[in-house]
Structure 1
Amino acid sequence: MSFELKAPSAPDKPTLYVELAEQAQALLQGECDRVANAANLAALIWHGLPDLNWAGFYFVHEGAQGRELVLGPFQGKPACVRIGWGRGVCGTAALELRTQVVEDVHAFPGHIACDAASNAEIVVPLLRGAELLGVLDLDSPLRGRFDEDDRAGLERLAAIWVASLDAQA
């Protein structure tokens, strides 16, 4: 497979996310491995969106400690490996099954500071029907970095990743 990452050319966020969605579909087409596709999507987001200091995945894990989120592919500094259900922004998104847009992580009760430079965060649940597979997590050093355009765009990218799991390899 040949794929060329295109530099974002969009004049606004909604158009930028349309471009990223088109690239994501082309990048993930025909591959159904969740780790490979998560790694490529994290890299695409990292290079395609401005003002990020972390972009990656946490996957649901059922273990001796109960249900938790475990670190998956990402771009950025090393991160927390395990996040308890309902803890921090990621655990809250998993528990509530809804996207969390946090303008100021320092004001979020129970925020888990993996990188002290992070000031804003958005976390999108990865849902296959009613089943939670994990979350897509993005951090930014800029307070208020994420808004409703980001929510809509990242939810679309998350849906493309989930749909790729059913692709014929």
Structure 2
Amino acid sequence: MSLKTPILRAMSSFYNFTVTDKAGAAFPLQQLAGKVVLIVNVASKCGFTPQYKGLEALYKKYGPEDFVILGFPCNQFAGQEPGSDAEIQSFCQLNYGVTFPIMHKVDVNGGDAEPLYEFLKKEKTGPLGLKRIKWNFEKFLIDKKGNVVERCSSLTTPESIDPKVAELLKQ
């Protein structure tokens, strides 16, 4: 059992979590209250990596005032995110012009999983009740009130999420 498990039980809201940003500083999710948020586990050497382009387009279209994307690099899937936080930042900016926040590299499954991801997986399971993250670029959409409203597979493109984001922004 992870030491993080008891903490998770006390965290009943998306906004109660604090994650770590690319510089290693605390990033309280409370600061995102009232915004639509898309959480994505990302990797730079994955077949889905070109989704960065669509994610950035979505962010430019709706963010950053009302919509935020948080990318969480993860190296748990075939070692497809081996770089340091600085290397990941550089890759995202140079290759895809990413301006949305790319956070500190995390685990999304297992005993050392980021507590936010444990919460997200509990709130929205995958197909057939699957809790674990299957692969890179799995997405969680959070409404303005902090509710996890949708979980999307890696196959779901950012472009196909656009109508749902637009709908949530109107609420």
Whether TM exceeds 0.5 here: the answer is: no
TM-score (norm 1): 0.31
Q: Higher strand share goes to which structure?
A: 1
Q: Which of the pair has the greater relative contact order for Cα pairs under 8 Å at 6+ separation? A: 2
TM-score (norm 2): 0.31
